[in-house]
């Protein structure tokens, strides 16, 4: 039986091009004869029944915009059976035939719970952290990476002029992917991730080596989730002999999650969302759409939410060599 009344929601940390995905869900589903509803504010809105009709005009003008026009939320209650029951009641009340969940690993764990409870659900891989398993990358990663890179480039200008050491914190509570990639692309002297061991002595030795090599600055990119926190590292470097470098801390924070999406992210979002709708309408669910070995494909929820380490040791070694 074809699924016709489709709801779409965005959940967890917002990611640039979520809007492009919402737009593509609405327009491809309507073109296939479906009726689309938007759930506001992720699972929070699902539990509360905050459901609005979406037609093709309602998603006009959003492809260029960062954030999510549907709103998003961290909704811990949905992790409980009671919360999921509330969601299921709303699915029945609004007579929904299927749901599309645009979000990261937590959101896709929620998708799995709904799918297991009998709601035909398809995901769209979306997170700036690039920590969904089974996909090459997720929508939002490219934009966040380019934003972080642009900021680090600017810090480098001023660091060089003042002969300073900059400790730059980038996002990634559990994932060092953004730090590693932004670090390599910006030519950082050192990159610290949650996945790699580190101690202050090693950082201090690298700093002294940079000085001995005649570098006019020392940039260390630190993932939010590094065991050595950026703020602590900056304090400790101020306390040791950091030679000619004065030390400064810069926390990039949520600027990395906002902004107009890159062409890559808009296209990835559009194609993944279209594939998600196609799958749902064809009765294929319990899976997440995304980029798999360069092609748009589907990954079972159980696979997508497995922990994954995208910080490749070979790239970490390359970063070290390039920083000399």
Q: Which residues bind ligand ADP (CB under 6 A)?
A: 11-13, 43, 74-76, 78-79, 103-107, 109-110, 113, 127
| Under 8 Å between Cβ of 104 and 43 | no
Site for ligand F6P, residues 70 to 109, rule: CB under 6 A: 74, 104
Helix (H), strand (E) at residue 302: helix 301-304
Q: At what angle do helices 141-162 and 177-186 cross, to 10 degrees?
A: 50
Total number of residues that touch ligand F6P (CB under 6 A): 11
253 is a site residue for ligand F6P (CB under 6 A): no
* Binder of ligand F6P out of 97, 129, 169, 195 (CB under 6 A): 129
- Minimum distance from CB of 281 to ligand ADP (Å)? 24
* Binder of ligand F6P out of 13, 42, 87, 286 (CB under 6 A): 13
Site for ligand F6P, residues 189 to 218, rule: CB under 6 A: none
- Minimum distance from CB of 317 to ligand F6P (Å)? 24
Hey, how many other C-beta atoms are within 10 angstroms of the C-beta on 306? 11
Strand partners, 248: 166
Stretch that binds ligand F6P, among 84-92, 121-129, 259-267, 288-296 (CB under 6 A): 121-129
Q: Which residue from 74, 79, 80, 78 is spatially nearest to 12, judged by alpha carbons? A: 74
Select from ligand ADP, ligand F6P, none the partner in contact with residue 109, using the beta carbon and a kind-dependent cut-off of 5 to 8 Å: ligand ADP
128 is a site residue for ligand F6P (CB under 6 A): yes
16 is a site residue for ligand F6P (CB under 6 A): no
DSSP labels for 226-287? -SS-HHHHHHHHHHS--TT-EEEEEE-GGGGG-SPPPHHHHHHHHHHHHHHHHHHHTT--SE
Select from ligand F6P, ligand ADP, none the partner in contact with residue 301, using the beta carbon and a kind-dependent cut-off of 5 to 8 Å: none
Active site residue 129: yes
* Binder of ligand F6P out of 127, 133, 143, 285 (CB under 6 A): 127
Tokens of 221: 């990119």
224 is a site residue for ligand F6P (CB under 6 A): yes
Select from ligand F6P, ligand ADP, none the partner in contact with residue 262, using the beta carbon and a kind-dependent cut-off of 5 to 8 Å: none
Spatial separation of the C-alpha atoms in residues 271 and 265, rounded to whole Å: 10
| Under 8 Å between Cβ of 71 and 45 | yes
DSSP labels for 96-149? -SEEEEEE-HHHHHHHHHHHHTT--EEEEEB-TT---TTSS--BTHHHHHHHHH
Task: Exactly one of 129, 131, 142, 265 is catalytic; name it.
Answer: 129
Select from ligand F6P, ligand ADP, none the partner in contact with residue 257, using the beta carbon and a kind-dependent cut-off of 5 to 8 Å: ligand F6P
Binding site for ligand F6P (CB under 6 A): 13, 74, 104, 127-129, 171-173, 224, 257
Cite the active site residues: 129
């Amino acid at each position: 039986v074809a699924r016709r009344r489709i709801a779409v929601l965005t959940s967890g940390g917002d990611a640039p091009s979520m809007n492009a995905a919402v737009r593509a869900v609405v327009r491809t589903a309507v073109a296939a004869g479906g009726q689309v509803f938007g759930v506001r504010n992720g699972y929070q809105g699902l539990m509360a029944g905050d459901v609005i009709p979406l037609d093709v005009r309602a998603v006009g003008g959003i492809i260029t915009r960062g954030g999510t026009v549907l709103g998003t939320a961290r909704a811990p209650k949905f992790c409980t059976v009671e919360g999921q029951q509330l969601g299921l009641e709303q699915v029945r009340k609004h007579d929904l035939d299927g749901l599309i969940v645009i979000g990261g690993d937590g959101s896709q764990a929620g998708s799995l719970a709904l799918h297991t409870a009998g709601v035909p659900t398809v995901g769209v891989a979306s997170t700036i952290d690039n920590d969904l398993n089974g996909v090459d990358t997720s929508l939002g990663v490219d934009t966040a990476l380019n934003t972080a890179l642009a900021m680090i480039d600017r810090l480098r200008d001023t660091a060089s002029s003042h002969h300073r050491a900059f400790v730059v914190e980038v996002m990634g509570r559990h994932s060092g992917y953004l730090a590693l990639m932004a670090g390599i692309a910006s030519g950082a002297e050192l990159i610290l991730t949650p996945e790699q061991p580190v101690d202050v002595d090693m950082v201090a030795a690298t700093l002294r080596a940079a000085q001995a090599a005649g570098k006019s600055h020392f940039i260390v990119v630190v993932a939010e989730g590094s065991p050595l926190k950026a703020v602590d590292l900056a304090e400790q470097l101020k306390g040791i002999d950091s030679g000619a470098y004065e030390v400064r801390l810069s926390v990039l924070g949520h600027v990395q999650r906002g902004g107009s999406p890159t062409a890559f992210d808009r296209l990835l979002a559009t194609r993944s969302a279209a594939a998600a709708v196609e799958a749902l309408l064809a009765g294929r669910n319990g899976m997440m759409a995304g980029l798999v070995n360069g092609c748009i494909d589907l990954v079972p929820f159980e696979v997508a939410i497995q922990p994954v380490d995208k910080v490749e040791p070979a790239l970490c070694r390359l970063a070290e060599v390039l920083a000399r």
